[in-house]
Structure 1
Amino acid sequence: MTNIHDIARLSGYSVSTVSRVLNHHNYVSAETRQAIEQVVKKLDYAPNAVARDLSRGKTFNVGVVLPHADHPYFTQLVQGIMRAAFAANYHVVLLPSKWDAQLEQKYLETLRQHAYDALIFTSHGLPLATLAKYQRYGRIVICENPHDSGLPATYAERVATYRTAFAHLKKLGHTHIGVLNSRDLAASATTQATVAAYEDVFQAPLPAKYCYTGVNTLTDGQTAGGYFVARFPEVTAVMTNGDDIALGFRRAYLAAQRPLPYLIGQEHQPSGEALKLPTIDHHFDLVGVRAFQLAIGETATNVAIPSEFLLN
């Protein structure tokens, strides 16, 4: 394999002079530069990008750990991350995880091996304490409230807006309310925030039977709708976890020819606007931008992004 020493030998110039030409440095005459570039072209030489990155201490790669892309939370986050990365001339590598702890541990090890300058965890299966231990090898950013983990974080401030949404339902007189979420209470900070907001507003526990999880897509929403149609006719309102999901939920009730519950969506999607659904906009695109800025060290503080409850 051709290397810089071969170029120096064939061109008759020193390794340091060849290096200056390859790295586009000044203080090399036009004649010398031309002679070296001719040898480079003849040998079809390309610099080793990995070695170059190691020598300058940066890869300009950021890994984004992504359980899946089925929910707008993840797609909007990635859109924001990609937009910020493009502006900063960084590469983004998507690292699928499915919340698998072994996979996430593998990605942390690649950070230790300097494959990335930083990792952004859009969600995680490993404990925050485990992620925090790897900060010595590179920046690790999470997309949730960091509490006392010491991890840089940017996240949507959800609880206040969830309270507003549940207060709206209470004002309308709804007392039997269903809630849809992606993951169960023990595993998900989002589900915990939703349940906590309900209990703050109604001063009572959310009945576990009304909390349906495993919902990420329109089809999941339709399945959840069938579940509520068959089992809980008393439910008159449902806090869904996406406008598209609310659309799927609605289809189940229409198919069963049952009166529709009052639906609240999330993420301000076109389907919600078309149906004029109340929705919560968490501005996840902006969360993604801020996560990337934290990852490359443009800001050192944790950033909470206010969300909005919108009555369409």
Structure 2
Amino acid sequence: MANIQEIADYTGFSKSTVSRVLNQKNYVAPRTRDLIEAAIVKLDYVPNAMAQGLSMGQMHNIGVVLPHNEHPYYTQLINGIMAAAFAANYRIMLLPSNYEAKVELAYLQQLRRKVFDSMIFTSHEISRQTLMTYQKYGPIVVCQDPGCLPIAAAYTARVPSYVAAFEWIKAQGYQHISLLATRASNVSATSKTTFQAYEQVFHQAPEPTLIRTGIRKQQDGYAAAAYFVTQKRPLDFIFANADDVAAGARQYYLEHDLPVPAMMGQENQLSSQLLNMATIDHHLYEVGENAAKLAISGAVRQFRVESEFIVR
């Protein structure tokens, strides 16, 4: 595969003349253009898209950092990001991090080297202050509430819906409530918000023995139910971090001919609709769309999307 210098050597014209033909510029004689275009075909020249993008200062690439894709939170978020990016002729590259700070920093170095025009952090281990130091290399968007920090963000407001959900649970008379979470509250803003909302309504912290972390998918819900059964803990309600997780827990009780406790999920998945189960819709598709638009525009703005408690 030839390069511009080889085309110039073959035709006898300068690199700048070859470049003008490649970039469809004027000021090239018709005969010269014909000779160069013939050489391009004969030598099988293919433009280097990355080099062209760098020369124009833009690659139309968005790096999307996510710890994993096992939870519907990320699926719905990515779907929204993809829709907005595609509409603007941008490509996205998914960058798994597994919540490893050194991996996230390596991705930021790629932003610095212009591999990406911008980056979206669906969740992150490194501090927002660290993220802010890289904003000079390109737009960075986070998907959590950044507070008063000047960083672009698109996020869902969870507190009102969590409080409404726990007030509803309390009103139904449930007392022994299991909380299923992806990560512990000391490392997860979402878990921390969930536990704080619980305490606000019940005026006490959640019972530690009824909290299970590391929960991401349906199989985890199934395993959590098995754990609670073996522990013989009193349990009359399961507050799951996804509808499919709650469905997995329900499956365990049914398969073992055990009474099924009341349950609530999150993300308004098909499973909660089919099971007529209460849920919380965080409207993550909309969050993703707004995150992509911020990454493309470079605007340092914050979009807050209200979540919704759905009773069924």
Could you state the TM-score of these two structures normalised by the residue count of structure 1?
A: 0.94
Match of 1:156, as an amino acid?
T
Task: Name 2:121's counterpart in structure 1.
Answer: 121
Does 1:227 find its partner at 2:231? no
Task: Name 1:145's counterpart in structure 2.
Answer: 145
What is the CA-CA distance between 1:6 and the residue it aligns to? Answer: 3.4
Match of 2:256, as an amino acid?
A
**Aligned residues, how many?**
312
Identity across the alignment (%) = 46
- 1:100-120 residue CA offsets vs partner (Å, 9 max, x unmatched): 112111111111111111111
- 1:36-68 residue CA offsets vs partner (Å, 9 max, x unmatched): 211111111122222212111111111111111
Structure 2: how far apart are the matches of 1:88 and 1:32?
36
What is the CA-CA distance between 1:255 and the residue it aligns to? Answer: 3.0
Does 1:202 find its partner at 2:163? no
Task: Name 1:102's counterpart in structure 2.
Answer: 102
**Quick check: 229-238 or 203-212, which moved more?**
229-238
Q: 1:303 aligns to what SS in structure 2?
A: strand
Q: What are the residue-to-residue correspondences of 1:10-49 with 2, within 5 Å?
A: 10-26=10-26, 28=28, 30-49=30-49
Q: 1:296 aligns to what SS in structure 2?
A: helix
Task: Name 1:271's counterpart in structure 2.
Answer: 271
Task: Name 1:284's counterpart in structure 2.
Answer: 284
Task: Name 1:180's counterpart in structure 2.
Answer: 180
Structure 2: how far apart are the matches of 1:300 and 1:135?
10
- 1:50-94 residue CA offsets vs partner (Å, 9 max, x unmatched): 221211111111111111111101111111111111111111111
Does 1:260 find its partner at 2:269? no
- Compared with structure 1, are the counterparts of its residues 21 and 137 closer, same or farther at alpha carbon in structure 2 (3 Å cutoff)? same
Verify the 8 A CA contact 2:152 2:299 in the aligned structure 1: no
Structure 2: how far apart are the matches of 1:181 and 1:131?
25
Q: What runs of 5+ residues in structure 1 fail to find an aligned partner?
A: none
Does 1:296 find its partner at 2:280? no
What is the CA-CA distance between 1:298 and the residue it aligns to? Answer: 5.8
Structure 1: how far apart are the matches of 2:142 and 2:303?
11
Structure 2: how far apart are the matches of 1:199 and 1:21?
69
- 1:5-64 residue CA offsets vs partner (Å, 9 max, x unmatched): 433344354433322221123455655433321111111112222221211111111111
Task: Name 1:72's counterpart in structure 2.
Answer: 72
Structure 1: how far apart are the matches of 2:135 and 2:298?
16
Structure 2: how far apart are the matches of 1:26 and 1:157?
54
Structure 1: how far apart are the matches of 2:262 and 2:30?
74
Q: 2:76 aligns to what SS in structure 1?
A: helix
Task: Name 1:156's counterpart in structure 2.
Answer: 156
Q: What runs of 5+ residues in structure 2 fail to find an aligned partner?
A: none
Structure 2: how far apart are the matches of 1:272 and 1:33?
64
Q: What are the residue-to-residue correspondences of 1:49-88 with 2, within 5 Å?
A: 49-88=49-88
Structure 2: how far apart are the matches of 1:74 and 1:203?
32
Verify the 8 A CA contact 2:281 2:310 in the aligned structure 1: yes
Could you state the TM-score of these two structures normalised by the residue count of structure 2?
A: 0.94
Q: 2:297 aligns to what SS in structure 1?
A: coil
Does 1:167 find its partner at 2:163? no
**Quick check: 110-119 or 293-302, which moved more?**
293-302
- 1:113-137 residue CA offsets vs partner (Å, 9 max, x unmatched): 1111111111112222222221121
Does 1:240 find its partner at 2:231? no
Structure 1: how far apart are the matches of 2:232 and 2:283?
32
**Quick check: 62-71 or 15-24, which moved more?**
15-24
Q: 2:123 aligns to what SS in structure 1?
A: coil
Task: Name 2:308's counterpart in structure 1.
Answer: 308
* C-alpha RMSD of the superposition: 1.8
Verify the 8 A CA contact 2:150 2:300 in the aligned structure 1: no
Verify the 8 A CA contact 1:217 1:244 in the aligned structure 2: yes
Verify the 8 A CA contact 1:229 1:252 in the aligned structure 2: no
Match of 1:223, as an amino acid?
A
Verify the 8 A CA contact 1:229 1:256 in the aligned structure 2: no
